[in-house]
Amino acid sequence: MALSRRFVIFSGVAAAGGLAVGYALMPFSTLDRAKGLIGKEGATALSAWVRIGSDNSVTVIVPHSEMGQGVHTSMPMMLAEELDADWSLVRMEQAPADMAFANGALAREYLRGDLSIPQFLSGTTDFASRKIAEFMNLQITGGSTAVRMTGVRGMRVAGAAARSMLIKAAAQRWGVPEDQVIAKDSRLTHASGKSATYGEVAADAAAFEPPIDPPLKAKKDYKIVGTPVARFDIPAKVDGSAVYGLDVREPGMSYAVIAASPVFGGTLASVDEAPAKAMRGVKQVVKLPAAVAIVADNTWRAKEALAALKPVWNEGANASVTQASIFAGMDAALVKGDLTEDHAMGDVDAALKAGGKAVEATYRVPFLAHATMETMNCTAHFDGDKLTIWGGFQDGLGAKARAAKESGLPMDNITLHHTTMGGGFGRRGYSLDYLDKAIGVARAVKGPVQLVFTREEDMTQDFYRHASVARMKAVLGDDGKVTAWLHTFTEKHDPPEALRVNYDFPNQAARYASGTNPIPWGPWRSVDHTQQGFFIETFMDELAHAAGKDPFEFRRAHFSGAPRHKAALELAAEMAGWGTAPSGGRARGIAIRDAFGTIVAQAAEVSIGEDGRVRVHNVWSAVDPGEVVNPATFTAQIQGGAIYGLTAALYGEISIDKGRVVQQNFPDYDMVRMAQAPLHEVRFIESGARTGGAGEPGTAPIAAAVGNAIFALTGVRIRELPFRKFDLTTGKQVASL
C-alpha cells in the first residue's frame, strides 16, 4: 500500500500545563486514545512524541526497547536537535504497549520496501485481522531499525513540528511575524526583547495544527546529534535501581520453574507429582501440553522440586534427529539442485563453463543460541478477566497481541509492563514462548507468578540461529578478476541483502534450499549476515589466494562501482597498517559487509597459541553508516557486535543428538571473556548516505576476518565454525572440545 504524506498525522494536547506532540503513520487514527494516555502524569506514547512541561522539561517518549544499544538516548537526541531543546532539560520515557501508539515510522519504511528490514519485523501472525486493520501496529526493536527509520522518519519530524508550533504560539502572543521568532535552547526570543520558555507557551502551541512537512535542520547546524552524549540508561544499571524481569516483586507472588519437552515438537505424556509436592515450599505442579512447571514460594525451591520430577515425554518424530543427519540433509539438498533463486545477474551458468581458473569451496556453520545473561522470564497475573504482564520484550505491542491470543482476552484487558532487559539479540522479539508458558502457568495459579527459565532450560529451549551449508563456485579470468560467482546454500531467512555482494561480478547468482532445518528458528544478532558474511568473505580470500593477489588489493579491485565500500575497505587497511609486517608470530585478515544500511570493513590480527587455538589481539573497524547520531554509543555497538560475533566464531555451537540440544550451560557454550577480548579501534566515515543501523553490522564480518588471518598466518583454511574445533597448526579437527 502506497502512503501519501497526508497519512502523517500530528496531534497536540495540553496536559499538566504542558504540550504533547505525537507522530503517527496510520490510516485509522486512534489519537483520542493517545491523548488520554499522554495527558496523564508520567504517561508515555508509542510514536515519536515529545511532552513539554510547564517547568520547561522536555520528555521524549521512545517507541523502542532499550537492550543496551543506546536508543533511549540516541532517539531523544534526534528529536531534541530538531526541537532546539536544551539537552539538560531533556528526559526520556519508554512508550507503553498500546494500540494507539504503534510505530508508524517503521511501518512506512517496511511498506516502501526497505531491503534491510527482516520479514519477521512485519508483525507476527498474532496481529491477525485487527492488527492489520490498524495498519500493522509495529512496536518492535530489531533489525537495527530504530535510529535509521523511527529516528530519521519520526523523531526528527516530531521535533521539528513541535518547534514550529511553539514558534507560531509565541509569534501570535507577541504580535510579530513567525520568521522573527528564534527558538534556541528551549527558549523563544524576539529582537524586541520579548522571551519565553517553551514551557510557558506550550499550552498555547497545543491549539495549532502541526505542519505536515516541517523544515529540518542542516547537518552543519547540529549541536546535539554527532556528540558523545551520556546515555540515560546507564546510571540505573550502575547503581542497581534498574528493574529487570527477574527483579519484579508483587504482593502474594509465587515463583515457577519449567521443563519443556527436551525433544523439539514433543509433548508431555505423564508425570508423577508426588515427589515434588512433598518438598518444602512447593505450592503446586502445573502441567502444560509440552511442559511441566513447579510453583513454589521461591525460585530455588521450585528448581529443586522440578529436578525431583521424572516426566515422561511423547518425543515425536524429531527423536531420531542428530547433528549429522541435519547436515547430511543439507548436503543432499544442495547436491539435488532443486534450488530457489534469490537473485541473478548476467548468465552465471554459462560463465562457469566458459573457461578460466575455477575455484570451489564448501563451508558450514552450526546452530547458535542467544545465551542472554538474563535468562528468559515473565511474570503474569490473572485477576478475573484482566491480565497483567511484567517482562523484557523487544516488541511490547506484539507481546500484548500474543498474550491476547494465549489468554483469550481482549487486548484492552491486558496491561504490559516493560522491564529492563538483560540482553535480547532477537530472542525477546520474535520468539515469545516464555510469555506463552508464563500465561499457561498463571492461569492455574492464584495471584501473580514469576516464571523463570533455568540456564539449562534457556540453552536447550531457544529459538536458534540456523545452521547452514554453502557451496561456492567462481571463475577467475586471465586478469585475475572474477568472471562468474555462484553461491548456493541452505536455509534463507533475513534480511534480503545478506546474500548480495557489492563486488562488480558481471555474472553472479545466489540460490538456496529450504526445509532442511527441523530445529526452531529465531532471529539472532545480524541474522543471515552472520552466515553469509563468513561464506562470502572467506571465499573472497580463497579467490585472492588462487589469483595470487593480496586479499585487500583483490577486494579493492572489485569495488570499481562501489566507492563507499572501497573507502571503508581502504580505511580499515590503513588503520591496521596493512602491508606492514605485524609483530612476530602474528598475521592479519580482512573482511567487509554491508549490513542494515551500514558498511563495516574489519581487519583482525591473530596469533596461534601452543594449544593450537587462535588468539585475537586487535580488531580495526572502518564504518560508514551515512551519519552518526551518538559516536560513543555507535562505537560501543560496533565493538559489542564484534565480540558477539567473535564468540560465535571461536566457540559457538549448538549441536543436536536424539532430537535434543547437547549443550546445557556456559561450560558447554563458552564466550569471549574480558581477558580474551581484543583491542578494537573504530573509525567512522560520515558519507552523507542514507542513515544505517548500529546494533548488528559489527557482528557480520568478524568471523571471516579472523579466519582469513588464520590462513595468512598458518596456511590452514578453516571452512567450518567454530574455530575451536580445529588444531590451527594442522587444520585437523580436535577430537574433544
Q: Which residues contact 81 (CB under 8 A, 6 or more apart)?
A: 156, 159, 217, 222, 223, 224, 225
CA–CA separation, 695 and 640 (whole Å): 8
* pLDDT confidence of residue 731: 76
User: pLDDT by residue (tens digit) across 237-257?
Assistant: 999 999 999 999 999 999 999
* pLDDT confidence of residue 49: 77
* pLDDT confidence of residue 38: 62
Burial of 340 (0-12, 13-18, 19+ CB in 10 A): exposed
User: pLDDT by residue (tens digit) across 61-93?
Assistant: 898 999 999 999 999 999 999 999 999 999 998
* pLDDT confidence of residue 52: 87
In 3D, which of 338, 359, 357, 592 has the Cα closest to residue 486?
Answer: 359
Q: For 13-17, 573-577, 579-583, 699-703, which range has the lowest pLDDT when averaged over its residues?
A: 13-17
pLDDT-derived band at 129, boundaries 50, 70, 90? very low
| Inter-residue contact 317 to 288 (CB < 8 Å) | no
**128 pLDDT more than 80:** no
**732 pLDDT more than 70:** yes
User: pLDDT by residue (tens digit) across 626-648?
Assistant: 999 999 999 999 999 999 999 99
- For range 125-150, the mean pLDDT: 63
Domain boundaries in the chain?
5-238, 245-316+376-452, 325-367+464-733
- For range 307-333, the mean pLDDT: 97
**590 pLDDT more than 90:** yes
| Inter-residue contact 481 to 550 (CB < 8 Å) | no
CA 9 vs CA 100, 148, 158, 551: distances in Å: 13, 20, 10, 51
CATH hierarchy code of domain 325-367+464-733:
3.30.365.10
CA–CA separation, 597 and 564 (whole Å): 12
CATH hierarchy code of domain 5-238:
3.30.365.10
**614 pLDDT more than 50:** yes
Task: Concatenate the DSSP letters of all residues of 499-564 into one string.
Answer: G---S--SSEEEEEE-S---SPB---TTTTHHHHHHHHHHHHHHHHHHHT--HHHHHHHT-TT-HH
**459 pLDDT more than 70:** yes
CA 660 vs CA 303, 321, 589: distances in Å: 21, 8, 36
pLDDT-derived band at 1, boundaries 50, 70, 90? very low
- Residue indicated by cell numbers 529450504: 514
92 phi and psi angles, rounded to 5 deg: -135, 140
DSSP-derived letter for residue 521 is B
At position 180, the amino acid (one-letter code) is Q
Rg (CA), the chain: 27
- For range 229-235, the mean pLDDT: 97
Q: pTM, whole model, 2 decimals?
A: 0.92
Strands (E), 217-310: 254-260, 267-270, 282-288, 291-296
Extract the C-alpha cell encoding 276: 515434588
Extract the C-alpha cell encoding 325: 543427519
Same fold for the pair 5-238 and 325-367+464-733: yes
* pLDDT confidence of residue 154: 87
**51 pLDDT more than 90:** no
**6 pLDDT more than 50:** no
CA 221 vs CA 25, 65, 225, 226: distances in Å: 28, 29, 10, 11
* pLDDT confidence of residue 8: 32
CA–CA separation, 61 and 556 (whole Å): 44
* pLDDT confidence of residue 99: 76
User: pLDDT by residue (tens digit) across 507-552?
Assistant: 999 999 999 999 999 999 999 999 999 999 999 999 999 999 999 9
* pLDDT confidence of residue 110: 62
pLDDT-derived band at 206, boundaries 50, 70, 90? confident
How open is the CA angle 319-322-324, to the nearest 5 degrees?
160
* pLDDT confidence of residue 496: 86
Q: What is the largest distance, in Å, between two alpha-carbon atoms of the chain?
A: 84
* pLDDT confidence of residue 30: 58
Q: Classify 245-316+376-452 by CATH class.
A: alpha beta
